[in-house]
Amino acid sequence: MPRGYSRERTTIHNLHYHFIWCPKYRKAVLTDEVANRLDALIHDKADELGVDILSLAIQPDHVHLFIEGNPKLAPNKIIQQVKGYSSRVLRDEFGSMGLPSMWTRSYFVSSAGVVSDDVIEEYIEAQTGQ
């Protein structure tokens, strides 16, 4: 199996997702104990979901999360779980922090892999000629 691929019972995959999301109004509330607690919560949820964190950066006004995904979980479900869980716990432990809700409804997600779109298109086109 090529390096970077993961094997499940019925699948081999290489799913990497880069997520970025912000607190409501991009308020700089992710500092000190809040940032440390958020880091722990994201790791807890990733373990629960069975996804591996490749990189995590918590800035005062946004979060970058780079994970190896699981083919059973759509990216929107992963981020929904991470944001929902962390919001509930942070607001329970630290209060509202002056926000009507912890996170904006928006987020950024991008996929990353070991081959480019061009390589995949060339491979598929080569298959039709056989």
Using CA atoms, how far apart are residues 2 and 114, in angstroms rounded to an integer? 10
Containing H/E element for 99?
none
Using CA atoms, how far apart are residues 4 and 15, in angstroms rounded to an integer? 9
Q: Is the pLDDT of residue 1 over 90?
A: no
Show Cβ contacts of residue 119 under 8 Å, excluding neighbours closer than 6 positions.
none
* DSSP alpha helix (H) spans, the chain: 32-49, 75-94, 117-128
In degrees, rounded to 5, the angle at the alpha carbon of residue 49 between the alpha carbons of residues 66 and 94 is 75
Q: In the chain, what are the domains?
A: 6-128 (3.30.70.1290)
Q: What is the mean pLDDT of residues 40-44?
A: 98
Give tens-digit pLDDT for 69-107.
889 999 999 999 999 999 999 999 999 999 999 999 999
Q: What is the mean pLDDT of residues 113-120?
A: 75
What's the mean per-residue pLDDT of the chain? 90
Per the structure block, which two tokens stand in for 85? 């869980």
pLDDT at 43: 98
Per the structure block, which two tokens stand in for 89? 């716990």
pLDDT at 117: 73
Q: Is the dihedral of CA 41, 63, 22, 99 positive or negative?
A: positive
- CA 124 centroid distance within chain: 29
Q: Is the pLDDT of residue 115 over 80?
A: no
